[in-house]
Amino acid sequence: MTVLYSFRRCPYAMRARMALAASGLPVRVREIILRDKPPEMLAASPKGTVPVLVQVDGGVIDESLHIMHWALARNDPEGWLRADPAETARLIARNDGPFKHALDRYKYADRHKTDSAAHRDSAMDVVAVLSAHLATNGGQLLGPAPTLADIAVFPFVRQFAATDEDFWESHAPANVRAWLAGHVSGPRFAAIMTRFPRWQTGAEEPLLTAR
């Protein structure tokens, strides 16, 4: 069966698990610890980042967006790929580029020796763009129902919001707060956030559930 090396709290792994769960494809999860990566994972993907998908035929996909597309190309029952590909790519690029850069330096300001507030404000500029999309498109980033862009972006916004919850509640646009709350309170997100024990060679490999 297809195997996913994952780390529960990683937003890249979250979005991969969301797409795999939505597709309904059978996948076994190997939950790892980033400071002590299993040799089987490093043999499959020497770069050592999660997520890593190892297919039944031995093929390896080690980029989260590629995993999402791989899963949804095989089964996309909720139409997450229906939105305009170019606009989807722009939203995800803004998230994975400027927003992630600012988020890391806001959340880990001591590590990066940066001005936390300045990077927080840079991230909020991207949040304002998300707010405009939500207002224009009826509640989700590219339409009234979730698409690939929403699922690829919200785990990172969740991480930003959790860095200072008081700031988030008092400064984030109401529609972005509602959008995020809707995604993190859903049954699928609860399912993909199940706490699995750390995987070791020969240990049980739980099945990723859809919801």
pLDDT digits (tens, 9 = 90+) for 5-22: 999 999 999 999 999 999
Write out the residue range of the structural domain in which residue 153 sits.
85-187
Residue 196 lies in a domain: no
pTM of the model: 0.95
- Looking at the fold, whether 113 and 172 belong to one and the same domain comes out as yes
Question: pLDDT tens-digit profile of 167-185?
Answer: 999 999 999 999 999 999 9
Residue 123 lies in a domain: yes
**Are 8 and 159 within 8 A, CB to CB?**
no
- Looking at the fold, whether 99 and 158 belong to one and the same domain comes out as yes
- Looking at the fold, whether 13 and 69 belong to one and the same domain comes out as yes
Residue 203 lies in a domain: no
Q: Among the three residues 27, 58, 78, which one is the final residue of a domain in this structure?
A: 78
- Looking at the fold, whether 172 and 155 belong to one and the same domain comes out as yes
Number of domains in the chain: 2
What is the amino acid identity at position 44?
A
Residue 54 lies in a domain: yes
Q: What is the DSSP string of 136-192?
A: HHTSBTTBSS--HHHHHHHHHHHHHHHHSHHHHHHHS-HHHHHHHHHHHTSHHHHHH
Q: Which residue spans within the chain are E strands per DSSP?
A: 2-6, 27-31, 52-54, 60-61
CATH for 106 = 1.20.1050.10
Instruction: Judge whether residue 113 has pLDDT over 90.
Output: no
- Looking at the fold, whether 140 and 159 belong to one and the same domain comes out as yes
Question: pLDDT tens-digit profile of 20-73?
Answer: 999 999 999 999 999 999 999 999 999 999 999 999 999 999 999 999 999 999
Query: Strand pairing partners for 61?
Result: 53
Tokens for 49?
């980042």
Q: Among the three residues 78, 94, 109, which one is the final residue of a domain in this structure?
A: 78
